[in-house]
């Protein structure tokens, strides 16, 4: 989904926009296992988000090297996230809002922006980009009604997003930090969910 398509989808409705999806234990296979996804848009035509806690075996330094972007410092300790199973060869940068205008950005909230253009990567590399960001390859996408169906099958827990979990919490603690906001320990949830 392009940034323009995402923007038009947002206008049609946004019930889970700026929310986290926490994978329930029933999602036990693939990229969504023990994942936390930040929902960037959600409307009549579907939903789109970025998984924020599944690192690839790839660093930001390697992305810069591959794109022939000179970096002002060493980025080899910053992992790139597997943002989802769709368009895994495309980069997505979730970042705190900044005054700079990037070529292809979607303002998710006044505080969080999703940018897909290469100019933000050059700015991060040279030190003029946003100070807080998350770089991912790929995104998670749901067609119209698909996410609602998965929610009805208890595949996800939802809660309002906390930007500090995205940008100031180590990736391996993001799921437990978000669950703690609900008073839940994800390790104690059974894969057999039911309805009361």
| Per-residue confidence (pLDDT) for residue 9, from 0 to 100 | 39
On whether residue 171 sits in a domain, the answer given is yes
User: Per the domain annotation, does 195 fall within a domain?
Assistant: no
* pLDDT, tens only, 42-91: 988 999 999 999 999 999 999 999 999 999 899 999 999 999 999 999 99
Is residue 194 in a domain? no
Q: How far apart are the first and last CA of the chain?
A: 37
Classify residue 162 as exposed, middle or buried by CB count within 10 Å of its CB (0-12, 13-18, 19+).
Answer: middle
- How many domains does the chain fold into? 1
* Other C-beta atoms lying within 10 Å of the C-beta of residue 46: 20
Task: Specify if 196 maps to a domain.
Answer: no
**What domain range is 34 assigned to?**
3-188
Whether 163 is covered by a domain: the verdict is: yes
What is the rounded CA–CA span in Å between residue 169 and residue 57?
19
Q: Tell me the whole-structure pTM to 2 decimals.
A: 0.87
- Which residues, in sequence order, are CB contacts of 62 under 8 Å at separation 6+? 76, 80
Q: Residue 113 falls within a domain, yes or no?
A: yes
Are the C-beta atoms of 178 and 170 separated by less than 8 Å? no
Give the CATH number for residue 155.
3.40.1740.10
Q: How far apart are CA 162 and CA 106, in angstroms?
A: 18
**Burial group, residue 25, by CB count within 10 angstroms (0-12, 13-18, 19+):** middle
Query: What pLDDT, in 10s, does the model give residues 119-151?
Result: 999 999 999 999 999 999 999 999 999 999 998
């Amino acid at each position: 989904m392009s940034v323009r398509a995402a923007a038009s989808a947002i206008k049609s409705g946004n019930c889970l926009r700026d929310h986290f999806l926490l994978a329930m234990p029933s999602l036990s296979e693939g990229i969504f296992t023990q994942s936390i996804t930040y929902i960037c848009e959600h409307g009549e035509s579907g939903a789109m988000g970025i998984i924020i806690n599944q690192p690839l075996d790839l660093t930001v330094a390697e992305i810069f090297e591959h794109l022939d972007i000179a970096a002002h410092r060493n980025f080899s300790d910053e992992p790139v996230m597997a943002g989802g199973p769709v368009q895994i060869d495309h980069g997505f940068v979730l970042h705190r809002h900044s005054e700079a205008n990037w070529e292809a950005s979607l303002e998710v909230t006044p505080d969080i922006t999703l940018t897909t253009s290469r100019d933000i990567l050059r700015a991060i590399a040279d030190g003029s980009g946003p100070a807080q960001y998350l770089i991912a390859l790929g995104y998670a996408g749901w067609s119209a009604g698909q996410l609602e169906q998965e929610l009805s099958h208890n595949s996800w827990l939802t809660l309002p997003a906390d930007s500090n979990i995205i940008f100031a919490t180590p990736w391996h603690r993001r799921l437990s930090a978000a669950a703690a906001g609900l008073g839940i320990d994800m390790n104690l949830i059974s894969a057999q969910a039911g309805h009361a």
